[in-house]
Amino acid sequence: MLDDRIINSKYQAERNLMNESFLVLSNLIFGSKNSEEKEKFVDFFNKHVKITFYNRTEETIRLLKNYYGVVYKDEEAGKINIELRGYEGLQANKLPVVKMTVLHELCHAFCDVFCLRNSYSVVKNGIEFKNNLGMVKQDYVETKKPVGYSMYGKFYNETMMDIITAIATKTKIEGGNLTVDDILSLNYRDWGCELDVYSPITSITRLTVAAFSNVASYKYQDIVNLGGSIFRGRVKKEGQKKAYLFNDFLYGIMCDPLHIDMVYDTYMGDGAFRDLSSFLDNIFKYQVSGISPRKEEIKLVMDKLQTFANLRVRDYYRKGIFTYEEFAELASKFNHIFRQMQTEYDAHFSKEEIDDITERAHKM
Ligand SMILES: [Zn+2]
């Protein structure tokens, strides 16, 4: 349970909504069976987070007129602040939006708290990389000045919060009909969620999740049903000493964004994930201002993710981590989303382009 003192609200209904949402997310993120980790986390969360509900018309510096919610770090107080619209003055038809926003913003707060816990840094070529607010912060070591806009990872951070919200509300976890695997393989229009400005770019993120997956001969939903965590859980493959995360991207996006850099760069070269992520952040910025990504941009990202996925699964297969059946299953799940996206964004690949991507994977 959240400490009642961290929630500022006049209404019990808002406190209940917050506690219910926290419970759903912590079960999903830690696994329903993992009580010990959940208890440790809630203590940490209570120390670092402050939640305030506002009525329909109130405004703050961050919670602007048309916003339903926002999360930011109050540097002075050293707290992660969640500001939300509550029930007061709300039209009945906006109730689902409030619920979705609470989950989305709370999900941000989970990432932010994990980033505080995983506060290590990596120094490469005079630049220090650190987890910060669900993204990666990069500063020059010598001058302490930011590199570029300093933070990258906004595209993945925002779109993933929507995907997790869809998992939390539309699957069997909350009595819905879909499975976790459905959300990860279906287009956002088939989730049955309230749409927002990020929805049209969520497919890129679903393709990324598939590219980092180690879940082959079983389902994500099975892991959840058994009380495990698709974010933090690991699987030990036959004959291997090391246990592997179910999905390196799901783990990284929630708990340790720098981890994703490490896995991607292993196959795509030093700094490759930073480049991809910054490119996507730019797409995100335009999307929010009403300009959809061009199909050439979508194709470029799909090409890179396909190359990475090919290199990674082949390497795992060669090392005996995946059997041939698992290798084929992972490729087929990835290709399913890849084909969907060609139609969704009218971003079609010619046979020559596909051959070219395949060729690159064989060369390793
Ligand atoms: Zn957000």
Domain segments of the chain as ranges? 4-117, 121-152, 154-362
DSSP 73-131: EETTTTEEEEEEE-STT--GGGHHHHHHHHHHHHHHHHHHHHHHHT--EEEETTEEEEE
- Ligand 1 centre from 160 Cα, in Å? 9
Residue 54: how many other CB atoms lie within 10 Å:
19
Entry pTM: 0.96
- Ligand 1 centre from 152 Cα, in Å? 14
- Ligand 1 centre from 129 Cα, in Å? 22
- Ligand 1 centre from 39 Cα, in Å? 25
- Ligand 1 centre from 56 Cα, in Å? 19
- Ligand 1 centre from 154 Cα, in Å? 9
Q: What is the pLDDT of residue 363?
A: 65
- Ligand 1 centre from 103 Cα, in Å? 10
Among 132-136, 162-166, 171-175, 309-313, which is the least confidently predicted range?
A: 171-175
- Ligand 1 centre from 107 Cα, in Å? 8
Among 84-88, 145-149, 249-253, top mean pLDDT goes to: 249-253
- Ligand 1 centre from 322 Cα, in Å? 35
- Ligand 1 centre from 104 Cα, in Å? 6
Q: What is the pLDDT of residue 92?
A: 87
Q: What is the pLDDT of residue 167?
A: 95
The rounded distance, in Å, linking the Cα atoms of 143 and 288 is 32
- Ligand 1 centre from 109 Cα, in Å? 10
- Residue 364's pLDDT band (boundaries 50, 70, 90)? low
276 to 15, 156, 158, 301: CA distances (angstroms): 39, 11, 16, 7
Number of H helices, E strands in the chain: 13, 10
Give SS3 for 151.
Answer: strand
Q: What is the pLDDT of residue 286?
A: 97
- Ligand 1 centre from 108 Cα, in Å? 7
The mean predicted confidence, pLDDT, of the chain is 94
Q: What is the pLDDT of residue 362?
A: 75
- Ligand 1 centre from 265 Cα, in Å? 26
- Ligand 1 centre from 253 Cα, in Å? 13
pLDDT tens-digit readout, 123-146: 999 999 999 999 999 999 999 999
- Ligand 1 centre from 161 Cα, in Å? 7
- Ligand 1 centre from 64 Cα, in Å? 14
The rounded distance, in Å, linking the Cα atoms of 141 and 200 is 37
Give SS3 for 68.
Answer: coil
- Ligand 1 centre from 67 Cα, in Å? 11
Give SS3 for 335.
Answer: helix
- Ligand 1 centre from 99 Cα, in Å? 14
- Residue 271's pLDDT band (boundaries 50, 70, 90)? very high
Does residue 178 carry a pLDDT above 80? yes
Phi and psi (nearest 5°) for 86? -100, -150
- Ligand 1 centre from 46 Cα, in Å? 21
